[in-house]
Amino acid sequence: MPDEETKNDRPKQPNVAEDVGALLTGLKTTLAETFKPVVTTMYPEDKTPRSERYGGRHYLRRYDDGLERCIGCELCAAACPVGCILVIAAENSDEERVSPGERYAKTYEINMLRCIFCGYCEEACPVQAIVLGPEYELSDVSREKFIYTKERLLEPLPPAVQARLDGKKAT
């Protein structure tokens, strides 16, 4: 019995044929990759396509009549696992209506440095006010510019609404 244990414990003798086979397999892989055509994307002129489900920069959406979709419910802030969203709600008035609900988001900020782009805010929103768009180029030169305010997040007004507002200002 003791002799059998010592025979199994000995290191395996090197096998030259196995080593040469492994070397040839590696060389085959290297040569196959060498002769494949090179695919280079000339970024930033050419951009690679993103999948449909890609979630990049955040946008606050509006209704077709120009009213903001956000009703200031703060569900997006509650759903955010890193706490990068700040929403401060205020009451709507009949004289100056901002959103269709009773409240609107007076302050809406997202700290993009803390955001992990998980999309929970988008899923939690009952009116689909916050969406993650396809934009992924979010670099800037200072940390302060990464706190996106409501003005920076809001989509522009629809052209018909903007023309109507411009007409009111002219008269």
Class of domain 58-159: alpha beta
DSSP class per residue in the chain: -HHHHHHHHSPPPP-HHHHHHHHHHHHHHHHHHHTSPP----TTTS-PPPPTT---SEEE-B-TTS-BS-----HHHHH-SS--EEEEEEE--SSS--SSSSEEEEEEEEETTT-----HHHHH-TT--EEE-S------SSGGGGEE-HHHHBPPPPHHHHHHHHHHHH-
pLDDT, tens digit only, all 171 positions of the chain:
555 555 566 677 778 888 999 999 999 999 999 999 988 888 889 888 888 889 999 999 999 888 999 999 999 999 999 999 999 999 998 888 899 889 999 999 999 999 999 999 999 999 999 999 988 889 999 999 999 999 999 988 778 777 777 776 655
Distance (Å, rounded) from C-alpha 170 to C-alpha 163?
A: 11
Contacts of 156 (CB under 8 A, 6+ apart): 162
Token pair listed for 13:
């003798």
The reported pTM is 0.71
Contact call for residues 75 and 124 (beta carbons, < 8 A): yes
Q: Where are the domains of the chain?
A: 2-34, 58-159
Neighbours of 54 (CB within 10 A): 13
Alpha carbon distance 42, 27 (integer Å): 30
